[in-house]
Structure 1
Amino acid sequence: MTNGFPTNLNDILPDDANHAILIGRIWDPRVSGPTPVLVDGDKLRDISSIAPTVSQLLEIGDLVGKLARPANFPIVGALEDVLAQSKPGADKNTAHLLSPNDLQAIKASGVTFVASLLERVIEEQARGDSSKSDQIRTEITGIIGDDLSQIEPGSEKAADIKKVLIEKGAWSQYLEVGIGPDAEIFTKSPAMSAVGHGAHVGLHPISTWNNPEP
């Protein structure tokens, strides 16, 4: 690892990569634009002949079948080379990794991570005043406990906890997602808003509150 940037394929590929179908998107200097790609071992293959964008690609009914024979698609480069060219400061006229999302809005489906869920509820109740966080944390964990993973979403116990928290004015939309009966599908970010692999992200300089996300 160099300055926190992953330089090894094992750092970016899942353990079951040899048995998975992995797609992505690169900046392709051949066309001076983005190209959807298929990961084939240590190579990347151009799959734009199926669809020119990832959003269109994911609308194909039998996409897995269409990608079952990687050799049908031309090689655009070695994944390791493209990874190296994706680090901050590299020449962006060369092939480099882009965010795999393009024209589709970025969606998520709750469940929220337990640690993050509790902190979000505390932040919401504190209304930005971090000095109140310890007191609120004590009050809320006194009602729901400190291990939300033990509460089955939609269960009678979850309903009882909701009733108590509503009475105390401490119920939260985040808890509705975490322990309520229905999963939530929500928009995380609009189309074209995700940054590419290894890209810098900006944080507002006055930001001091940290919500943990695994």
Structure 2
Amino acid sequence: MTQALPHDLAAGSFALRLMTPEGPVVHALQGGEAFDMTPAFGTASAWMNSEDPVAAIRARGVPVALDLPAALANAHHAARDPAKPWLLAPVDLQVIKAAGVTYVRSMLERVIEERCRGDASQAETIRAEVRRIIGDDLANLVPGSPEAMAVKAALVAKGWWSQYLEVGIGADAEIFTKAPVLSAVGPGAKVGVHPVSQWSNPEPEAVMVVNAQGRIVGAALGNDVNLRDVEGRSALLLGRAKDNNAACSIGPLVRLFDESFTLEDVRQAELTLTITGRDGFALQDSGRIGDISRDPTDLVGQMIGAHHQYPDGAVLFLGTPFSPSKDRGAPGMGFTHHPGDVVRIATPRLGALENEVDRTDSCPPWAFGIGALMASLARRGHPA
């Protein structure tokens, strides 16, 4: 399981959460050493909201022995020993937000979903028609610019304007709440697809970790599991398409911004997605985070500020550079998840986030919420 860890682990500063028999703890990694941050801060969000989370590691952390590969291996749902530590999603009280339609490829796929009205069998025909009319020229458009507004006017005249194009190239980004606080699963856990859906997919994304003042302090990997047919029927069903049991995965670690890793390194990173199914299906795709149409700082600025406060901080999924469309089964039907699919999202300096797909009602129910966390910290005498 060590291949899931960042290749330069010893060079960076990282935040992680572990479930232990006593309760969840927050740890830091720096220079190849591990530190328990729980006695000083209690939660990952309190630590991220401190003046300098990187400096706090050695100033306030308690050195501990940590077998990280073992904790990562124990996170796998099929082999977990509850008597030993395992990795959780590395965030806790932060609000889980997401930005949609931030890449040209995913924007076009959203338009296709909308015009299909959730019927996957029409996707390939409509995909070709959309590309014939729109092409890939939108890749160089700055959202909200005069050039973007000229494209909008042309598409409106053709009857091809879409709510997804509105947030893709218009002035306002789509920012929504992906999942409740503490509901994200971590590496090795099952991710859930609601059985009502016949057209679903993973969404590999970079996730920004943002403190209460709106400063981006680190990054992680995320899987924003999506029900394409449900959202395609109506954008008003976004909550039903996005917020389901175990449908949000974050991990394996948060890499904090320091001298070794900055937001520019995130922009330059490439995300790789691999999917392997029990039926022998295999898919691999990749995309650059930097191909995003809106800079991460712009998206974070639209998420938090004078009009939106998050006193415990937030995490923001930046949107997916690509949606898998490789046929699985009948030609023209595109991709959809099957139970047992193993999804791996990776980039060398953030590691790899791997989860197995199952029905939402077959994934472990979410039972450890804010009240349980506060009670656990109080019982152990840690700040809450």
TM-score, normalization: structure 2? 0.47
1:75 corresponds to which of 61, 64, 79: 64
Q: What secondary structure is seen at the aligned counterpart in 2 of 1:61? A: coil
Match of 1:159 in 2: 149
Pair 1:119 & 2:112 matched:
no
The residue identity in structure 2 corresponding to 1:83 is: L
Q: How far is the alpha carbon of 1:25 from its aligned partner?
A: 0.6
Question: Per-residue displacement from partner, 1:35-72 (whole Å, max 9, x unpaired)?
Answer: 111123555421112211112222212222212x2795
Pair 1:199 & 2:210 matched:
no
1:129-140 equivalence runs, <5 A = 129-140=119-130
2:5 corresponds to which of 12, 25, 42: 12
| Count, aligned residues | 203
The residue identity in structure 2 corresponding to 1:213 is: E
The residue identity in structure 2 corresponding to 1:78 is: D
Matched-pair identity in %: 46
Match of 1:177 in 2: 167
Unaligned runs of 5+ in 1: 1-6
* 8 Å CA contact retained: 1:27, 1:35: yes
From the superposition, tell whether residues 130 and 185 of structure 1 become closer, same or farther in structure 2 (CA, over 3 Å): closer
From the superposition, tell whether residues 70 and 196 of structure 1 become closer, same or farther in structure 2 (CA, over 3 Å): farther
Counterpart CA distance in 2 for 1:130 and 1:173 is: 19
Counterpart CA distance in 2 for 1:157 and 1:143 is: 17
The residue identity in structure 1 corresponding to 2:117 is: R
From the superposition, tell whether residues 49 and 212 of structure 1 become closer, same or farther in structure 2 (CA, over 3 Å): closer
Question: Per-residue displacement from partner, 1:100-138 (whole Å, max 9, x unpaired)?
Answer: 121222123456233222111110122112233234323
Higher Rg:
1
Q: How far is the alpha carbon of 1:96 from its aligned partner?
A: 0.3
Pair 1:28 & 2:20 matched:
yes
TM-score, normalization: structure 1? 0.80
Pair 1:84 & 2:77 matched:
no
2:198 corresponds to which of 174, 187, 208: 208
Counterpart CA distance in 2 for 1:158 and 1:164 is: 10
Give every structure 1 segment of 4 or more consecutive aligned residues whose post-TM-superposition deviation is greater than 6 Å. Answer: none
Greater share of strand: 2
Pair 1:105 & 2:95 matched:
yes
Unaligned runs of 5+ in 2: 205-384
* 8 Å CA contact retained: 2:11, 2:32: no
Report the aligned-residue RMSD: 2.6
Counterpart CA distance in 2 for 1:211 and 1:147 is: 26
Q: What secondary structure is seen at the aligned counterpart in 1 of 2:40? A: coil
